[in-house]
Chains A and B, each alone.
Chain A
Amino acid sequence: QLQLQESGPGLVKPSETLSLTCTVSGGSVTSSGYYWGWIRQPPGEGLESIGTIYYSGGTYYNPSLKSRVTISVDTSKNQFSLKVTSVAAADTAVYYCARYPQWISQPSWGQGTLVTVSS
């Protein structure tokens, strides 16, 4: 059974870089027919797509975050990662990783991890 688990620091200082990893078990990041993504939710607010990555290497980012975001895949560890540079308080959120199928099948999400930006 597929499981996704987010990990990384829960506290990041303003202007620094937020780095999160999503570890995939019960499946492979190299599987064809799937792509991978990050979503976030600030406290008390709605859901926001951050970006997606295809195994082929193609990445797509939310235009509002594009200049600060990088998503990458580490096939040796069966993980994919998120980096957000120059963070501010507005980047405080629960961050989720997800797997999306390229046909009619269920998307899968991790349980999420809270990242707080504060000095």
Chain B
Amino acid sequence: EIVLTQSPGTLSLSPGERATLSCRATQSVSTTYLAWYQQKPGQAPRLLIYGASSRATGIPDRFSGSGSGTDFTLTISRLEPEDFAVYYCQQYGNSPGTFGQGTKLEIK
């Protein structure tokens, strides 16, 4: 089973700042099957990034994904108030798939 470890656990930033979230895998993950999600309280996860770097439909271009192999990054270039939420990475190339434990992005 591929274990995904996200860091940091909590990230405290202010609107307008840049956020960098990390997802590290215990073995190589195909970029085809690496996704990032945003989740707000009481809501279903929202797909942000798929294929490690492709933005999902309707996602603003301040969100970007990068990485390969075992190290992946989600970057939010300039934080908007609505971006404060929990973020998860997921690999689904090695079935049944696994998720990271999440990074909580909170307002500083």
Q: Say yes or no: B92 contacts A37, CB within 8 Å.
A: yes
Residues of A within 8 A of B50 (CB): 104-107
Interface majority SS (helix, strand, loop, mixed), chain B? loop
Q: How many residues of B contact A (CB 8 A)?
A: 24
Q: How far is the CA of A60 from the CA of B92 in the complex (A)?
A: 11
| Contact count band on A | 20 to 34
Q: How far is the CA of A52 from the CA of B102 in the complex (A)?
A: 21
What are the interface flags for B42-81 relative to A under an 8 Å C-beta threshold, 1 for contact and 0 otherwise? 0011010011001011000000000000000000000000
What 18 additional pairs, Cβ within 8 angstroms, besides A52-B92, A106-B47?
Answer: A39-B99, A47-B45, A47-B88, A49-B98, A52-B95, A52-B96, A62-B96, A63-B1, A94-B44, A96-B45, A100-B33, A100-B97, A104-B32, A106-B56, A107-B35, A109-B45, A111-B44, A112-B44
